[in-house]
C-alpha cells in the first residue's frame, strides 16, 4: 500500500520512526513536509498527487468526513495530575464547574472530574458542536463543550498545554475561567483576557469604518473551505455600495496580503482563529464575518444620520 503520513509540528520528529515501521510491513511510505494546523488541514491533494492509497493523519481525532481514505491516529499524553490540588485555590467559591481539554488529554478527563467531585465540586461536562468528537473536548474552532454549559456553571476549567485552545472557549463564555498547565505546573485565571480581546475587536471594527474595498479570504483547506459564506459576504458588501473580491489560498501568506495595497480591509472565512490570532500580521483590519456585519451596521447608521440632518 502507498501511504502518506502527516504530522502536526509537535510530532514531526517522529516521522522517520513511523515511516520505517510501516516500510518493514511492506508499505511504500511518504511523509508530508507541509505544515498542518489540525484535522481540518488534511494533505489530501498531496496524497492524490503521489497516488497514495491512504493518508494517515497523526495527532488529531476525526474532524469531518472527506472523500478519501484517511486514518486518524490521536496522540495521547499522560499529564501529571498533582497540579489539580493547587487549582482548588483559584476555584474556591465556585460550586459548579465545567472541565474542558484537548484530544491529547481526553483520556484523563474522568480522573480530573473525579478529583474535583471528591473535593466537593459539581462537575458538568459539555458537548461539542460537532467538529470535536468527545464530550469535554475543545478545538480552536469548536468550543461547544464549554459554551453549551456556560449558563449552568459558576466557572470553567481548562486542563492542558498552552492558551490557544482555552482562548477560544474563553471568548465564547461569560464565567470565570481557570487554565491549568500541568507540564509547567501553572494555574491561572484568564478571564481578564476577555476585555483585552473585546477591545481588539472593537478597534478593528472602528478602523474598518472608512474601508471601501474588502478582500474576502477563502481557504482551500478541506476543513476550512467556505466559499458559500464568502459569496454571501461579497454580495452583502456590494449591496452596500462597496467593492469586494474573493482571495483564495491554501495557507495565507500575510506578507503577500500586505502587498495587496488596493484593499482597505480583509474578511476571514477560513479558520475562525485567523481573525483572532493573526490580526497583527496584516497592515489592514482583518475582520471576522460577525465583525464585518458590525462594520456595515455602523456605516448604515452613519449614513442615515447624515441624511436626516
Residues 6+ apart with CB under 8 A from 69: 53, 54, 55
CATH number at residue 222: 3.40.50.11860
User: Domain total for the chain?
Assistant: 3
**Which pLDDT band holds residue 100 (cuts at 50, 70, 90)?**
very high
Taking residues 74-95, report their average pLDDT.
95
- Among candidate residues 191, 221, 246, the one where a domain is terminated: 191
Domain contains 206: yes
Residue 91, in any domain of the structure: yes
Domain boundary among 51, 73, 95: 73
DSSP 182: T
Backbone angles phi, psi at 28, to 5 degrees: -95, 120
The string of DSSP codes covering 18-83 is HHHHHHTTT-EEEE--S---STTS--HHHHHHTT-SEEEEESS---S--SS-EEEE--------TH
What is the distance between the alpha carbons of residues 300 and 85, in angstroms, rounded to a whole number? 53
Q: Is the pLDDT of residue 77 over 80?
A: yes
CATH of the domain at 136: 3.40.50.11850
Residue 18 counted as domain residue: yes
Q: Which domain holds residue 129?
A: 83-191
Q: Read off the pLDDT of residues 148-171 as tens digits, 9 standing for 90 and up.
A: 999 999 999 999 999 999 999 999
User: Cell triple for residue 22?
Assistant: 510501516
Same domain for 126 and 47, yes or no, is: no
Within this chain, do residues 286 and 206 fall inside the same structural domain, yes or no? yes
Task: Please report which confidence band the pLDDT of residue 305 belongs to, taking 50, 70 and 90 as the band edges.
Answer: confident
78 in any annotated domain: no
Share the mean pLDDT of the chain: 95
Within-domain flag for 233: yes
Same domain flag for 59 and 20: yes
Instruction: Categorize the per-residue pLDDT at 45 as very low, low, confident or very high, splitting at 50, 70 and 90.
Output: very high
Count of beta carbons in the 10 Å neighbourhood of residue 92? 7
Tell me if 140 sits within 8 A of 38, measured CB to CB. Answer: yes
- What pairs with residue 55 in β-bridges? 4, 70
| CATH number for position 11 | 3.40.50.11840
Q: What is the pLDDT of residues 237-266, one digit of tens each?
A: 999 999 999 999 999 999 999 999 999 999
Q: What is the mean pLDDT of residues 62-66?
A: 87
Pick the closest to residue 205 from 294, 299, 297, 301 (CA basis): 294
Q: Report yes or no on 149 lying in a domain.
A: yes
Residue 309 has pLDDT above 80, yes or no: no
Amino acid at each position: 500500500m502507498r501511504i502518506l503520513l502527516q504530522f502536526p509540528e509537535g510530532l514531526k520528529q517522529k516521522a522517520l520512526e513511523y515511516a520505517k515501521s510501516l516500510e518493514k510491513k511492506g508499505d511504500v511510505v511518504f511523509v508530508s513536509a507541509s505544515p498542518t494546523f489540525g484535522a481540518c488541514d488534511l494533505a489530501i491533494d498531496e496524497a492524490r498527487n503521489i497516488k497514495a492509497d491512504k493518508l494517515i493523519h497523526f495527532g488529531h481525532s476525526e474532524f469531518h468526513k472527506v472523500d478519501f481514505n484517511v486514518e486518524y491516529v490521536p496522540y495521547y499524553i499522560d499529564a501529571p495530575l498533582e497540579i489539580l490540588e493547587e487549582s482548588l485555590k483559584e476555584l474556591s467559591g465556585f460550586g459548579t464547574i465545567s472541565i474542558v481539554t484537548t484530544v491529547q488529554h481526553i483520556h484523563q478527563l474522568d480522573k480530573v472530574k473525579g478529583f474535583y467531585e471528591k473535593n466537593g465540586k459539581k462537575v458538568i461536562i459539555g458537548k461539542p458542536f460537532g467538529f470535536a468528537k468527545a464530550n469535554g473536548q475543545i478545538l480552536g474552532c469548536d468550543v461547544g463543550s464549554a459554551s453549551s454549559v456556560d449558563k449552568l456553571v459558576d466557572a470553567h476549567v481548562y486542563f492542558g498545554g498552552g492558551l490557544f485552545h482555552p482562548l477560544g472557549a474563553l471568548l465564547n463564555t461569560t464565567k470565570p475561567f481557570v487554565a491549568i498547565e500541568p507540564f509547567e505546573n501553572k494555574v491561572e485565571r484568564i478571564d481578564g483576557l476577555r476585555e483585552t480581546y473585546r477591545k481588539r475587536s472593537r478597534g478593528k471594527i472602528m478602523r474598518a469604518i472608512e474601508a471601501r474595498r474588502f478582500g474576502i479570504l477563502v481557504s482551500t483547506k478541506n476543513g476550512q473551505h467556505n466559499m458559500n459564506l464568502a459569496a454571501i459576504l461579497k454580495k452583502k458588501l456590494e449591496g452596500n455600495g462597496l467593492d469586494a473580491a474573493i482571495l483564495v489560498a491554501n495557507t495565507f501568506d500575510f506578507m503577500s496580503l500586505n502587498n495587496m495595497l488596493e484593499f482597505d480591509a480583509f474578511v476571514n472565512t477560513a479558520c475562525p482563529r485567523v481573525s483572532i490570532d493573526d490580526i497583527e500580521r496584516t497592515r489592514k483590519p482583518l475582520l471576522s464575518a460577525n465583525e464585518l456585519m458590525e462594520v456595515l451596521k455602523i456605516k448604515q447608521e452613519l449614513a442615515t444620520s447624515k441624511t436626516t440632518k
